[in-house]
A = this chain, B = another copy of it.
């Protein structure tokens, strides 16, 4: 297991001794698609690291509308906040596909941080980046309309793929709606509109960026579609 652990960015730069320690305290769990990992309000008893698969962390309104806060991919830790603040989970976590997850109990993990400053700094960097992502999400929700959010999403996915114009959505469109703070119907309409305007081309979950500059303008300001 210590091999998987060494591959996790959070643990980069640690000594072999610490890898072994981590391997000693880690609990290895497997989940199939659609399983709940934790729910809002649960006690935060440790840190999770996703080894394989995909996990969404989300809020639910009483009416059932879902706002996804983050979709985690391989190698990413989650549930950290409640480890350090000693609070309950502020959101739900559920697998989007078959996943494998390592769980590190709180106390042992904190001990390790106390002893290894590079682990502390890694953790600080990760939390900082996450904070920054949330900042962007808040900006999107508050200052952009749905087309702008969608355009921004496409551009950011494209960037992750080294600027390719051919994108494959790795989450279903109804999940994407939840990530953008809207509902599937609206997303569907806006996709159709973007196609009509010649901004993108859509074929199922394949998206092709046709007019990158148009998308950029849309993502940037409140320009009308």
Name A's B-contacting residues (CB within 8 A): 59-63, 65, 67, 69, 80-87, 90-91, 110, 113-115, 117-118, 120-121, 123-125, 127-132, 134-139, 141-144, 181, 220-222
Contact = CB atoms under 8 A, between A and B. Distances in A.
Contacts of A143: 59-61, 65, 67
A59 B141 contact: no
Contacts of A144: 61
A120 B128 contact: no
A113 B80 CA distance: 19
B222 A84 contact: no
Contact of A131 (B81, B136, B221): B81
Contacts of A123: 124
The count of identical subunits is 2
Contacts of A85: 125, 128-129, 132
A83 B127 CA distance: 11
B82 A128 contact: yes
B63 A222 contact: yes
Q: Which 4 A-B pairs have the closest CB atoms?
A: A85-B128, A120-B120, A61-B143, A62-B221
Given A113-B121, A220-B62, A67 B127 contact: no
Given A114-B117, A124-B123, A129 B59 contact: no
Nearest to A144: B61
Max chain B Cβ within 10 angstroms of own Cβ: one of A62, A84, A129: A84
Contacts of A113: 117, 120-121, 124
22 contacts: A59-B138, A60-B143, A61-B221, A65-B143, A69-B138, A81-B131, A84-B128, A85-B125, A85-B128, A85-B132, A90-B136, A110-B121, A113-B121, A113-B124, A114-B120, A117-B117, A120-B120, A120-B124, A123-B124, A137-B138, A141-B141, A141-B181
